[in-house]
Structure 1
Amino acid sequence: SLRRATERRAYRFGRQMTWPHVASAYGELFSELCPRPLELVPSA
């Protein structure tokens, strides 16, 4: 039924929102935006 299919899709989507998946996505994004380590300069 449409209801069951919608429930299954919602469940699968929700599983992608768990912290390990979200953290991995953030890590990938940061790697793309800043592919090399930043040079840290000590403050005065």
Structure 2
Amino acid sequence: MSNLVEELMKLSMEELEAIINQKIKDAEMNFSFLTEPKGGEVE
């Protein structure tokens, strides 16, 4: 677990923000079927 913390400490705030924003976009894509009533199939 400490290795993960060390890796995070190396990242700049800009890099961290970019990663978080990408994760949010990925999550929005994955769960878009919950917010967009298209009647599409859930994978």
More helix by share: 2
Which has the higher Rg, Structure 1 or Structure 2?
1
Q: Larger relative CO (CA 8 A, sep 6+): 1 or 2?
A: 2
TM-score, structure 2 as length reference:
0.45
